[in-house]
Amino acid sequence: MNTALHIWHGWFFALFLFCTALVFSNGMHWVLFRVLRHRHMDGKRKTLGWGIHRYLGKPARAIFIITCLFLVLPMAPGELKPYLGEPLHQLLAVAMVLAMSWFAIGMVYIIEAALLRRYDITVEDNVRARQVHTQMVIFRRALIGFILIVTTGAVLWTFHDERVWKAGTGLLASAGIASLILATAAKSTASNFLAGLQIALTSPIRIDDVVVVQGEWGRIEEITSAYVVIKIWDQRRLIVPLSYFIENSFANWTRQSADILGTAFLYVDYTVPVEALREHLQKVAASSPLWDKRVCGLQVTDLREHTMEIRCLVSSRNSSESFDLRCLVREEMIAFLRDNYPESLPRIRISSKSSSEAELLSGQLPDPSSRLK
């Protein structure tokens, strides 16, 4: 009876130590992140940027709890050592390695957010910002992959079994050899990974770039370690391997800047007053906020059998505004022709033959050549 009561008291004390560790660790976590989460500036409380609480809050809580459990573990009663000694110590060691890895991944996101604060992708001239965002996404994925490899080796290293320890050491030491083996076994995966690094360094594409790939117009929505997601104008998604952008040609409409020239073609009769059309195009462009006031011109670019081709050339800040401006120019120019010069719209002329020619063809008049006989 006394032995059972003693054991029960031992378990109660162990449970008390566990609860104490939880309360103390959560208290430390609350105080620390309460300080980090807010800062006072000019009497107003503003949140500290970079997402520290979002990315580090949970892994830091796990580290605090595991650390406190490590500290109270030696205080456990002696009769509970077989149950709470080595097995629990091993479990806490593995948990600590995983928590540290979680914290390291959070730090990667924090560093990325800190570096990207200077590069706002929503501004008008965002070429440099999109380049930096693209590079950071690729480097972040590569760094997280490296952290996971190190974590796997560290977890194996925590075991006291010599065979497992050697396996963990070998995994840490042979990351480069493993990469070569994987490259041989999965050429497409390796080529996409290398293509991702090349894209990060040379920037042929960036996040939010406007591209034309396989005849489809869209924007770069996401760049992963294996493929690129292109958002097509009609809300579809085109999935393209990373290596495609290294091995094939494609059109990038925002490589240097987002501004672009757009054209609208009119096919009209030869009698149209070109100068009047040119003046009206200037009025249409000037009245639209879609025009960036750089280029506005009208020229006759081709002559055909029944019509002549007129090109309206206008400039815009980006491809989306250019498309809308081109549609507006077509509508306004056609309406101007219809209301002011309807005779200049394309037409097909049919001329009737004279009555004598018609009678001759019908056989009512004698053939003049018969008089010569």
Q: Concatenate the DSSP letters of all residues of 233-257 into one string.
A: TTS-EEEEETTHHHHS--EETTSS-
Distance (Å, rounded) from C-alpha 230 to C-alpha 217? 9
Residue 348 in tokens: 């097909």
CATH number of this structure's domain 260-344, picked from the four choices 1.10.10.10, 3.30.70.100, 3.10.450.630, 3.40.720.10: 3.30.70.100
**pLDDT value at residue 8:** 45
Distance (Å, rounded) from C-alpha 290 to C-alpha 292? 6
**pLDDT value at residue 281:** 94
How would you class 41 by CB atoms within 10 Å of its CB: exposed for 0-12, middle for 13-18, buried for 19 or more?
A: exposed
**What is the torsional sign of CA 297, 300, 301, 304?**
positive
What are the extents of the domains in the chain? 1-117, 123-257, 260-344
Place of tokens 């549609």: 327
Phi-psi region of 47 (alpha: psi -120 to 50; beta: other; left: phi over 0): beta
Calculate the CA dihedral of residues 97, 103, 108, 109 and round it to 10 degrees. Answer: 140
Residue 99 in tokens: 């928590």
Distance (Å, rounded) from C-alpha 313 to C-alpha 129? 29
Give the CB-side neighbour count of residue 71, counting CA atoms within 13 A. 12
Q: Which are the contacts of 258, defined by CB distance < 8 A and separation ≥ 6?
A: 124, 125, 126, 127, 210, 317, 318, 319
**pLDDT value at residue 230:** 93
Residue 200 in tokens: 């990060």
Query: Cβ distance 188 to 243 under 8 Å?
Result: yes
pLDDT by residue, tens only, the chain of 373 residues: 445 444 444 544 555 556 665 666 666 656 665 665 554 344 444 444 556 667 777 887 788 777 777 776 666 555 555 555 577 777 888 888 898 898 888 888 888 888 777 777 666 666 677 777 777 887 888 888 888 888 887 887 777 666 555 555 555 555 555 555 555 555 566 666 677 777 777 778 888 888 999 889 999 888 887 789 999 988 899 999 888 888 888 888 887 777 889 999 999 998 899 999 999 999 999 999 999 999 999 999 999 888 899 999 999 988 888 999 999 999 999 999 999 998 888 777 665 555 555 454 455 545 544 444 4
Residue 106 in tokens: 């959070």
- pTM for the model stands at 0.51
Q: DSSP letters of 14-48?
A: HHHHHHHHHHHHHHHHHHHHHHHHEEEETTEEEE-
The secondary structure of the chain in percent helix, strand, coil, rounded to multiples of 5, reads: 60, 15, 25
Cα–Cα distances in angstroms (integers) from residue 243 to residues 134, 141, 219, 224, 246, in the given order: 16, 17, 18, 12, 5
Query: Cβ distance 344 to 280 under 8 Å?
Result: no
Distance (Å, rounded) from C-alpha 294 to C-alpha 262? 12
Geometric angle at alpha carbon 130, from 124 and 198, rounded to 5°: 155
| Closest alpha carbon to 218 in 209, 207, 226, 228 | 209
Query: Cβ distance 102 to 62 under 8 Å?
Result: yes
Neighbours of 275 (CB within 10 A): 8
Query: Cβ distance 97 to 89 under 8 Å?
Result: no
- At the topology level of CATH, where does 123-257 sit? SH3 type barrels. (2.30.30)
Cα–Cα distances in angstroms (integers) from residue 63 to residues 91, 119, 153, 214, 346, in the given order: 13, 33, 19, 49, 78
Q: Which are the contacts of 166, defined by CB distance < 8 A and separation ≥ 6?
A: none
**pLDDT value at residue 144:** 87
**pLDDT value at residue 6:** 46
